[in-house]
Copies of this chain bind each other. A is one copy, B any other.
Amino acid sequence: MALTPARTMPGVLELLPLDQIAFQRMLDVIRRNYERFGFLPVETPVIEYSDVLLTKTGGETERQVYFVQSTGALDKADEGTPELALRFDLTVPLARYVAEHERDLSFPFRRYQMQKVYRGERAQRGRFREFYQCDIDVIGKDALSVRYDAEIPAVIYSVFRELDIGPFIIQLNNRKLMRGYFESLGIVDGDQQMLVLREVDKLDKRGADYVRDTLTGAAFGLSAEVAQKILAFVQVRSTSLQDAFDKLDALGAGPEAMEQGRAELKEVLGLIHAFGVPQTHYALNLSIARGLDYYTGMVYETTLNDHPQIGSICSGGRYENLAGQYTKSHLPGVGISIGLTRLYWQLHDAGLIDTAKSTVDVLVTQMDEAQLPAYLALASELRGAGIATEVVLEGGKLGRQFKYADRAGIRFVVVLGEDELTRGVVTVKDLRREDQFEVARSELVKTLRVELEQAAAMG
């Protein structure tokens, strides 16, 4: 029989076990922190009805959707859009979930969701067709205090501090402030404001001159003075909490939207401080607009200080109404998303993530086949104490067994030969410290637990 080449499609991240362990640890840290802030888990099906999924989305997203058909449905082809599709984010399923289960949920509804999403991206390095999103959202019924917008940066801070991937800054802006400021400059039309924002978004890539030329060019026709004011506005960054307040005040009075945005930003900034986020870890950045049109108030991006090229590692904001396409209820919300697959890949690419140590703590070697029951009893005891233990069942040379442990990233190798059995001891080889010690059989569990707890405490 001809062999089928074993391969996966481009755009998926499939990891070897030790890398998967490193990835899983990041997922665990994120989940733990989400739960600590009182967010509840939700999982939704990967497959949704196409009409449910595609109510709101524009052409761009629609072209990237994966449609799904069972074998039976394929026979009835050419009947337009298939009935089913894979979710392309977690926000649309959240909207559907909240609308569907509204009566069974308590509001404000705080949920986290960490699942994979699917996009038919062009195959290209660093673009993923399947990737994890790790989202939190707080959904209010009718209204939701801006105080929840201040809690979000506290969660971000908590997550990335524990992920321990280097210093980071949570950058804050407010859409109302931006729109109000544009209004004060005579750019009143909402669509026109969006177009200006889109140009401004190119500042980092194209530079100030390019953006100024575009804004004063035929497409926009803004005066040099207005263009200059816009550029000055979007270049505002704060260096401390007080500096943020000062810079917001220095913008001068403006129309209602601008005053609202400023008030929201001030309240959020004050509360972030009360939430215990240090001033080194958040800043005003009036260039942050976020591509998505549905953000209406606060917006967030988070960047790594030492790796700006990675871009935002956690983004989100406030939206006016989550599920208007499914329900008449008014459901404002605020949330963020961490695209973990891309983040992991980038950190790994930049050499910032090591391959993890194994989840296996101990390998019990097989020195003497006849003593297998003793090895199994020892392993049961270790496992009972919560120590992940593998037993060599097949035997073979001890040197090969050590080599296996080393290659597999297992730290402790336990040897129990005739000599040890007679003397009631166990020999432990610590492959990390390249050390070896003997311990009484009855003390083994305690000794290894102490070692492993110390190692865990030290990260």
Binding site for B on A (CB under 8 A): 1, 3-9, 12, 14-18, 20-21, 23-24, 35-38, 40-49, 51-52, 55, 62-74, 77-78, 82, 84, 86, 95-97, 99-101, 104-106, 108, 110-111, 116, 118, 120, 129-130, 140, 144-145, 147-148, 151, 154, 158, 271, 274-276, 323-328, 358-360, 363, 372-373, 376-377, 380, 383, 386-391, 393-394, 404, 407-408
Contacts and interface: CB of A to CB of B under 8 A. Distances in A.
B38 A388 contact: yes
Contacts of A408: 106
Contacts of A407: 106
Number of copies of chain A assembled together: 2
| Interface secondary structure of A, over-half rule | mixed
B71 A82 contact: no
Nearest to A375: B274
Contacts of A47: 9, 12, 66, 118, 129-130
Contacts of A65: 70-71
Given A66-B47, A359-B41, A380-B275, A3 B328 contact: yes
Nearest to A15: B43
Contacts of A158: 383
A323 to B, nearest CB: 7
B4 A325 contact: yes
Contacts of A6: 52, 95-97, 99-100, 323, 326-327
A105 B380 CA distance: 26
B9 A389 contact: no
Contact of A72 (B118, B120, B154): B120
A51 B9 CA distance: 12
A82 B68 CA distance: 10
A20 B4 contact: no
Contacts of A45: 8-9, 12, 14, 130
A408 to B, nearest CB: 5
Contact of A359 (B14, B35, B99): B35
A95 B101 CA distance: 39
Contacts of A23: 43
5 contacts: A6-B95, A14-B45, A106-B407, A145-B393, A274-B372
A141 to B, nearest CB: 11
A14 B94 CA distance: 12
B41 A20 contact: yes
B104 A16 contact: yes
Given A69-B66, A120-B71, A388-B35, A55 B130 contact: no
B66 A43 contact: no
Nearest to A48: B8
A24 B35 CA distance: 12
A294 to B, nearest CB: 15
Contacts of A140: 394
B44 A46 contact: no
A140 B404 CA distance: 13
Nearest to A69: B67
B71 A63 contact: yes
A276 B20 contact: no
A40 B383 contact: no
A100 B64 contact: no
A305 to B, nearest CB: 23
Contact of A77 (B42, B49, B78, B276): B78
A77 to B, nearest CB: 6
Given A14-B97, A38-B363, A78-B78, 4 more contacts: A6-B96, A24-B41, A37-B389, A38-B390
A169 to B, nearest CB: 20
A389 B62 CA distance: 39
Contacts of A376: 271, 274-276
Contact of A68 (B37, B55, B68): B68
A251 to B, nearest CB: 26
Contact of A14 (B44, B74, B360, B387): B44
B78 A71 contact: no
A188 B377 CA distance: 42
B84 A9 contact: yes
B36 A388 contact: yes
A97 B95 CA distance: 35
Contacts of A327: 3, 6
